[in-house]
Amino acid sequence: MPQASARQASHGRLGGLTGNDALTTNLLPVDFNFDSFRVWKRPIEDGENLKSLRDSSHPDWFVYWHSGMVHFVPLSDATTPPPNTCSDILQTESSLGLLSRLVEDALMRRLPAYEPTRKHPFTFLGHQDELLSDLGESLGIKHPLLAEFQIWPKYTFDARIIEVHQGSPFLAVAVDLATRWIITADLDDLANAGIDIRGLYVVRRNAEVEQGRLLGRVASVSRGQVELSEATGETTSIRSSDAMLEGRKESFARCLKHLLGERNYARYDKYRDKAMGELLGGPPQLNEFAMSHRRSPNAPCCWRLAFRALLESRMSSRTHPVAGPSPRQGNSSTALTQPAGRSTSTHGLG
């Protein structure tokens, strides 16, 4: 499982850059303390559903498809090999693609409080700071629908193969921060408030992670039913309770200008810009880490280091170089720990 060394965050040497020429990144290089590892594999069967296979194999096995073969990577030590499989030894340095998916999967398992909005790369919404939660009180603006317009921090942990030096690729987790705009208001309530929502995009209110969210544009709303134009699938009509406006800036603007009026909307817009600037500056990220640590004090150190790398890349007035280690250098901030001695790992990698 991914464990983080507290030695460093994302610092190291990049080429010959020094001083003011150095480079800040939001990367957490991953170090694997084994040269090879054992997997079990078999040919994929005709019509086999990999999602169902992954679900049925969890939590003992990580399932990965490559070149017509299904690979089973053990996540625990006491695991009986899957039926009709043969064992194989994979070299760490030539299996970074598989290991990148394993790292993302491990991060999801070690941060269970954060429901992924997307699994690859691992993307989730923060829990601590909804950017506009204090807006009404701060500005003295009251409207029953105002709280339905929300902006949440959105974090992404993306395990990538990086090649700073030719011929020396390594795996690193790229940490990114963006925002997710959400409009939770009932479509009937918006229409009854006199807002013309025709032509705005709508999404499923409760979409599965792997399910497409976008439904199309609103053609009309009447009696609890939404008729769609430019539908993205076969659905051309859906219950209004099952859909909501997509959180686009144009949808925020059209709805809130009508609800608040031009003067208060201008104040709202200024407040929102300030809140987003503070998010990128750091304090809300630290609040998020503090809350996650209280909920799960045994969460991996890579969570803390991820925030550190992200904060440094956003806040630093001076830049720092990123490490470009091979797995042998032991110079990374995040490690898949195994017993000492860099031999073949026969232990679970969970």
For residue 338, pLDDT over 50 is answered with: no
Q: What does the pLDDT read at residue 336? A: 40
pLDDT at 107: 85
Q: Please tell me what DSSP assigns to residue 233.
A: S
Which of these ranges, 37-41, 93-97, 274-278, has the smallest mean pLDDT? 274-278
pLDDT band at 286, cuts 50/70/90? low
The mean per-residue pLDDT over the stretch 307-327 comes to 38
C-beta of residue 79 within 8 angstroms of C-beta of residue 348: yes
- Residue found by looking up tokens 């194989």 in the block: 88
- Segment of 8-17, 99-108, 111-120, 144-153 carrying the highest mean pLDDT: 144-153
> Measured at the alpha carbon of residue 194, what is the angle toward residues 193 and 199, in degrees to the nearest 5?
115
Number of other residues whose CB lies within 10 A of the CB of residue 133: 13
Burial class (CB in 10 A: 0-12, 13-18, 19+), 16: exposed
What backbone torsions phi and psi does residue 105 show, to the nearest 5 degrees? Answer: -65, -40
Strands (E), 21-76: 27-32, 36-43, 61-66, 69-74
pLDDT, tens digit, for every residue of 122-158? 999 988 778 899 999 999 999 999 999 999 999 898 9
At 253 the pLDDT is 97
The average confidence (pLDDT) of the chain is 78
Residue that the structure tokens 């990128």 belong to: 280
Out of 293-297, 308-312, 337-341, the most confident range is 293-297
pTM of the model: 0.72
- The model's pLDDT over 160-179, given as tens digits with 9 standing for 90+, comes to 998 888 888 989 888 888 89
Tens of pLDDT along 20-77? 544 456 778 888 888 999 999 999 988 889 889 988 888 889 999 888 899 999 987 7
| pLDDT at position 319 over 80 | no
Model confidence at 227, pLDDT cuts 50, 70, 90, reads very high
Antiparallel, parallel or unpaired: β 243-245 and 201-204: antiparallel
Q: Please report the pLDDT score of residue 175 as a whole number.
A: 82
Long-range contacts at 59-68 (CB < 8 A, ≥ 24 apart): 59/109, 59/350, 62/101, 62/102, 62/105, 62/349, 62/350, 64/98, 64/101, 64/102, 66/97, 66/98, 68/43, 68/44
Q: Does the structure show a pLDDT above 90 at 239?
A: yes
